[in-house]
Structures are given as C-alpha cells and as structure tokens.
Amino acid sequence: MPSTTATAFLSIAGQSIWVDNITRSMLSSGKLAQYIRDWSVVGLTSNPTIFEKAITGSNDYDTQIGELLAKGIDGEKLFFELAISDLTKAADMFKGVHERTGGVDGWVSLEVSPLLASDTATTIEQAVALHAKANRPNLFIKVPGTPEGLPAVEELTYRGIPINVTLLFSPKQYLAAADAYLKGLERRAREGKNLRVESVASVFISRWEKKANPKLPDALKNKSGIAIGECCYQAYASFYASERFLALQEHGARPQRLLMASTSTKDPSLSDTMYVNALAGARTVNTMPEETLHAFHDHGVMGGLLRVDGGAGPTTLAAMEKAGCSVNGCAGELQQEGAASFVKSWNDMLAKIHAKSSAMVK
C-alpha cells in the first residue's frame, strides 16, 4: 500500500477519518481545508483539553476575548462563545461533506461542561441551549457516557439533539450508550416522530495500556486497547443487527456509529500508528489527533478490517480476566479518571482565561 494514500485507503474501506483537534489558526491557515480536500478528513472533534491548549497557547483569541469582556461576558459563558465561534466555522467548512453523505459525516463536536458530569438535568438543559446557540445541523453535543450522563443521552435523543457519547472504555459501557440511544429513538417512534437523529459512541482506546499493563504478564502487555476496540466492534455489529434496531431502521433510524477515540500511541516504544492500523472497521469513525493523522498519512498500513466476531479480542479479554485484570473494573476507573481529567482541564482553562482577561483589562 503506498504510504501517501493510507488515509484514502482507510476511507474507502469504510472508516470515516475525523481529526481530534481544533485551533483558530487551523481554521484560518487552510490546514483544515487541506485535510478535507487531500487527506479524506470528514469530521472534527474537540474536548476541554484541546480547547485549553488552543485558547491559552496562542494570542489568536485575544481580540474576541477583549470584545466579550467589554460586553460583560466572562467565565464559562466567555469560553462557550469562543468555542462556538470556532466550531460553527468548522461546521460550515464541513457543510459539503455533510450534505454529500446525507448527514453521515461532516460533523463537529462541542462538549457540555465537565462540571455537570453528575447532574443529569442541567446537562440536558445546557446541551439543548448550546445546540440552539450554535444553530448548525452538523454539530454534535458531547455528553459523557457515565451513569448520570446516559439518561441525558436518552432524553436528548428523544428531543432530536445529535449526541456524541464520550468517555466509553469497554463493551459494557458502549452497550449502555447504545441502549440509551435506542430508548430515545423508541420514544420518538411511539409518538410518530422522525427517527433520523444522528449519534456516535466514542470508545477511548490508548488509555488502556497504562491502566492494564501493570496488571498483566508480558505476553498480554500492549494488547488491551486493540482488544477493547475489537470487542466493541463485535458488540456494535451484534447490537445493530438485532430485531430491536431493525424495527426502528424500517422507519428511518440509523445506527449510532462506533467511534474509535484516543487513538494516539502514548508509549514512544510502540508504533505511532498502532491503533489506527489495527482498528479499521466498516461503518465506523476514527478521530485522530493531528500528530497521529500525519503519521498515518505518511506511513500507516491497514492491518485488515475489524471482524464482527471480535477477532482476537474476546480471547485477549478472557486472558486478561484470567490474569487478574478486571475489564469492567478497569473501565470504571478509566471513566472516572477521564471525567476528572476533563474537569481539571476545564478548571485550568477557565483560570487561564481569567488571568488573560484580567491582564487585558488592566
């Protein structure tokens, strides 16, 4: 496979390539336009950590921050103004993709405040408000797939809000998110409402190695992330081949697509395209950090498509359990740690924006 066309091969195999980053310069410099035009990129995701780096790591936002401060807007409201300004521009750049694919691709994502992770009612309220404020048909609202977040996923789907369910780490957590999505669609079906409410379920891959490796023998180290992806694909295929979904599909419903997230390799001794190479799956999404996107475009090699029976994944997870590494236990810890990490990034970002704002008004 010619390395220069690796992204094109991945796309033609049926996996949508989204980029997991956004900065104002990425939008204005032509870089995102190049990704769309030449690298088969058909979507974009963001999270609090990404926006923290974008806003506090440059002066690109200073003019708008000054304008918002002059209007008396600060804190979290100021952040959402900055984020929505970027994401609506990105959504407009993906408008052609969105229309060409019938709404399958061309999406961007905005996360609700991580501080609301345990507050279902306020998560719903903020998600509705943010989606209305952005006013773009191709903008997902990201909601964590925590026990408190899942009822929000159901309710928001029922209300017709496109949702990216985030912070999923295992087949069990993935299936809970898929169930919440279908419950929302089933409620719409009972009322005769349109069932075309798009959604993705984001399974985080690379954090597994750091969590699981200390609990595993050498023969199983660095295999857990790929095995989780394989088994989530198995669950995805089975769930959407079920009579429960097919009854909704008959009336226009689409699957909530499985999205492979956190696909950068954290250990420099491992291949920088390891997860992308191994997790190509039909009718799925891979959202790649920019450095991973560049690496795969340069020298990525697809290792074959994911299998509906999970391939080697079920055997690997069974071996992990036998070795004393609880998959569900680790997934629960990873979800809690991921939520805490986003809260830290959120608070750090707001503190740095406040500091920048204070310096600007002196």
Instruction: Using CB atoms within 10 Å of the CB of residue 33, give its burial: 0 to 12 exposed, 13 to 18 middle, 19+ buried.
Output: middle
Q: State whether residue 341 is helix, strand or coil.
A: helix
Find the distance separating the first CA and the last CA of the chain, reported in whole Å: 57
Closest to 55 in 3D by CA, of 30, 82, 74, 81: 82
* CA–CA separation, 230 and 328 (whole Å): 16
**Region at 326 (left for phi over 0; alpha for psi -120 to 50; beta for the rest):** beta
* DSSP at 220: G
**Token code pair at residue 62:** 């200073």
* CA–CA separation, 212 and 327 (whole Å): 9
Annotation says 193 is catalytic: no
* CA–CA separation, 294 and 246 (whole Å): 38
* CA–CA separation, 231 and 44 (whole Å): 25
Closest to 164 in 3D by CA, of 202, 210, 220, 125: 202
Catalytic residue chosen out of the listed positions 31, 53, 142, 193: 142
Cβ pair 40, 17 in contact under 8 A: yes
By annotation, the residues acting in catalysis are 142
